[in-house]
Chain A
Amino acid sequence: MMVPLFILILGPVLAGLALLALPLRWGKVLAPISQIPLAVLAGQAFLAVRRDGPQLQVIGGWPSSVGIALRAELLSLDLVMLNILLFACLLLYNTGKPYVNRTFLFLFLSFQGLLNGIFLSSDLFNIFVLVEVATVVISLLILFKPNSESIYDGSIYLLTNIVAMTFFLFGLGLLYKTTGAVNFDSLKRVIASFEDSERLILPYAFLMTAVSLKAALMPLFSWLPKAHGTPGAPTVVSAVLSGLYVKGGVYLFFRLQDIFEPVLDTRSLFLVLSLMTAVIGFVLAIAQKDIKLILAYHTVSQIGLIMTGLNMDHDYARYGALYHIINHAIFKATLFLTAGLVIERYKTRQIGQIRGVWREMPAVALASLLAILGITGAPLFNGSMSKAWIMVGADQAWLGIALYVINLGTVISFVKYSSMLWGKAPEKAKRPFWGGPGHRLPALVCLFLGTLCLLGGVLSEPMTRLLFGVALPVDWSQYGRKTGVFLLLLIAGTAIYHLGLKHWRYLQQARDLDLSFHDICLTMAAFFAALVIVLKIWY
């Protein structure tokens, strides 16, 4: 018996609604507890899918082409389980924070339900609705502690994303006219046997412009760091936006490419764009001085890496990229959470003013370090595994070199980021391991997530077999060489940062690169036009 999937979507929303009626004291305890039944349900659905294959459930008993259909398959349930795991951690982390009130819990839990819905929907229109509602919820969450910067950032976020979704809706209209379908299965069937590929160009370009903005692909990423790194956004919101929500765009991209690939094969185009995204992401990350912004820009870079893997014509690279989605969610969430604790303690976000986190708050520094090792691809950590699999797909030499350059960029950004861990603490008195009162639970959550980075690496083989149902072998005999390469990158990265980049004048200018709302709309229009022209030439 398959569990009803809609509970995974409606459950968190209803839980949030119920918490509105209860005293806040209870809500703070009940919100993390509400994740347990969800996890059980998702786990059951996952086991059922592993046993019987993908399942389709239509709500209300309508035919699947008309009704709201939910589709459970391994990838979507992986993401749902990841979502529940992260939210459980974030809600625990949040229990002691002063800004948490009942409205916050309601919005936050609703957001979880919407995310689950995006992953489980098998229908483009439902996805449109869910994403649009999620956009509204997120802009409220970003503005939860309003200050003068976050109002501008929130407005930019809301309007650019609405414009993108209008593109999506219009593309959907064109697609419905051409194919007569909006759900994945029918679309895939119709498009696979579609003769007149030219008629698909316009809908494809509209949809892809929207999805590229959602996934923060070059040149449509400039809304992302503003939204994810804005000072007003609570730490947990930054963590979930960077860790998971942006993957919603990547997931949509993956689904749409899967549908359109037989007719419009744009992988080489998006491969180049993804590589450029990855490079520009780390360049801008290195240029930042604000620790939250370093992490936010670095998300852009990692999205580029994930998209690179997805656009390679190789199964290993594809699964590597999907595994990297999960890994990135875990280490980026850890990094944002630890950064939040550090900012709370030091009362500043400037990397230059934070020193000695190791002495001041050892547990937090340890969790940070584990996540940094994960994201830079240190041997045995989860990042190294997914990056190695993406590397397998690099069939040409230049592609391999590009991937090494991207990893070097990651190492350099985190050499800069980790400079806050070392050095002398501002106060002489040594703090307890957990970093003081009220920090025990948040630090414990960070450490737990940090440990997952290591486990995800050591157990990567059984994990991928469990999560994706494919066997991706890890060549342990190559490990000596990999360790060498990592150490080399680490030395090179440290040297490049401290000897050259740190004082490079152009880097300061890169920091001021900030597109206004009009520039973003203009790039969107240009992106759309360029996509149409390229496809017209190709097909």
Chain B
Amino acid sequence: MSINALLDWISGEHISLVLFFVGLYGLTARRNMLKSILSVGIMQAAAILYFLSADLAEDSVPPVGESVAGQAMADPLPQAMMITDIVIGIGVTAIALTLMIHLYHRYGTTNWQKARDKRHE
């Protein structure tokens, strides 16, 4: 693949797909709970990137404030949805981290496997 073809291939949509599966890999391959939470964060970022970059026309302006004549506005719906998602993501991550701290206090580890062994004791 020539370098130009590669550069053409790199777009928000493709990168977000790659990122999503990087996150999924992290979930399956890492035993540390903190890394699991980070992986979920990567997957959520991938989803946000996808929503914002899919169907985005070149030279379009953000759908905020008054529109300038002659310039296309980006589709406001995905942007509105993603603002909501970012807020939810923060809440969810906060809860997950809190749980992790509780888990650490209870079992003395943040490793999923060790926590599971302790749970069955």
Q: B92 and A148: CB pair below 8 A?
A: no
Is A173's CB under 8 angstroms from B47's CB? Answer: yes
Q: Which residue on B lies nearest to A176, using beta carbons?
A: B78
Q: How far is the CB of A54 from chain B (nearest CB, A)?
A: 24
Residue from B23, B29, B119 in contact with A148 in the complex, judged by beta carbons closer than 8 Å: B119
State A162–B100 Cα separation when bound (angstroms). Answer: 15
Chain B stretch 18-48: residues in CB contact (< 8 A) with chain A: 20, 23-24, 27-29, 31, 33, 36-37, 40, 43-44, 46-47
Asked if B27 and A518 make an inter-chain contact with CB atoms under 8 angstroms apart, the answer reads yes
Which 5 residue pairs are nearest across A and B when measured between Cβ atoms? Answer: A521-B27, A152-B119, A177-B54, A173-B50, A169-B47
Q: Is the CB of B50 within 8 A of A174?
A: yes
The chain A residue sitting closest to B100, CB to CB, is A155
CA A136 – CA B111 in complex, angstroms? 22
A174 CA to B31 CA in the complex, in Å? Answer: 30
- Taken together as a complex, chains A and B put the C-alpha atoms of A36 and B78 apart, in Å, by 39
In the complex, how many angstroms separate the beta carbon of A123 from the nearest chain B beta carbon? 10
**Residues B91 and A148 in contact, CB atoms below 8 Å apart:** no
User: Among the listed stretches B1-9, B65-73, B81-89, which one makes contact with chain A, having 4 or more residues with CB under 8 Å of it?
Assistant: B81-89
Taking beta carbons and an 8 Å cutoff, which residues of A are in contact with B?
A: 66, 125, 128-129, 132-133, 135-136, 139-140, 143, 146, 148-149, 151-155, 158-159, 162-163, 166, 169-170, 173-174, 176-177, 182, 514, 516-518, 521-522, 525
B23: chain A residues within 8 A (beta carbon): 166
Min CB gap B21→A, angstroms: 8
CB distance from B116 to the nearest CB of A (A): 6
Say yes or no: A163-B99 contact (C-beta < 8 A), given A129-B88, A173-B51, A177-B54. Answer: no
Q: Interface residues of B: mostly helix, strand, loop or mixed?
A: helix
From A517, which residue of chain B is reached at the shortest CB distance? B112
Find chain B residues with CB under 8 A from A154 CB: 99
Nearest Cβ on chain B to A13's Cβ, whole angstroms: 15
Distance of A166 Cα from B40 Cα, bound (Å): 8
- The one of B33, B81, B106, B115 that contacts A125, using a Cβ cutoff of 8 Å: B81
Distance between Cα atoms of A233 and B27 in the complex (Å): 26
Asked whether, in the complex, the Cβ of A66 is within 8 Å of the Cβ of B113, the reply is: no
B119–A158 CB distance below 8 A? no
Query: Chain A contact residues: over half helix, strand or loop, or mixed?
Result: helix
Chain A residue at smallest Cβ distance from B94 = A136
Closest chain A CB from B96 CB (angstroms) = 6
Contact A159 B40 (CB under 8 A): yes
**Chain B residues near A525 (CB, 8 Å)?**
24, 28
B76 to chain A, nearest CB (A): 8
Cβ of A158 and Cβ of B99 under 8 Å apart? Answer: yes
Q: From B55, which residue of chain A is reached at the shortest CB distance?
A: A177
Q: List 12 A-B contacts (CB under 8 A).
A: A129-B88, A136-B91, A143-B99, A151-B107, A155-B115, A162-B92, A166-B44, A166-B47, A173-B54, A173-B78, A174-B50, A525-B24
Task: Report whether B88 and A152 are in contact in the complex, using a CB–CB cutoff of 8 Å.
Answer: no
The smallest beta-carbon distance between A224 and chain B, in angstroms, is 17
**Cβ contact within 8 Å between B88 and A133:** yes
Instruction: Give Cα distance in the complex from A133 to B95, angstroms.
Output: 11
- A21 CB to closest chain B CB (Å) equals 23
Give the distance to chain B from A146, nearest Cβ to Cβ, in Å: 7
* B81 to A, closest residue via Cβ: A125
Tell me the B91-111 residues at the A interface (CB within 8 Å): 91-92, 95-96, 99-100, 102-103, 106-107
Q: What's the Cα separation between A469 and B103 when bound, in Å?
A: 49
Residues of B within 8 A of A136 (CB): 91-92, 95
Structural contact, A155 and B33, CB atoms closer than 8 A: yes
Closest CB-CB distance, A532 to chain B, in whole Å?
12
- State A143–B99 Cα separation when bound (angstroms): 10
Shortest distance in angstroms between B48's beta carbon and chain A's nearest beta carbon?
9
With a CB–CB cut-off of 8 A, which chain B residues contact A162?
40, 92, 96
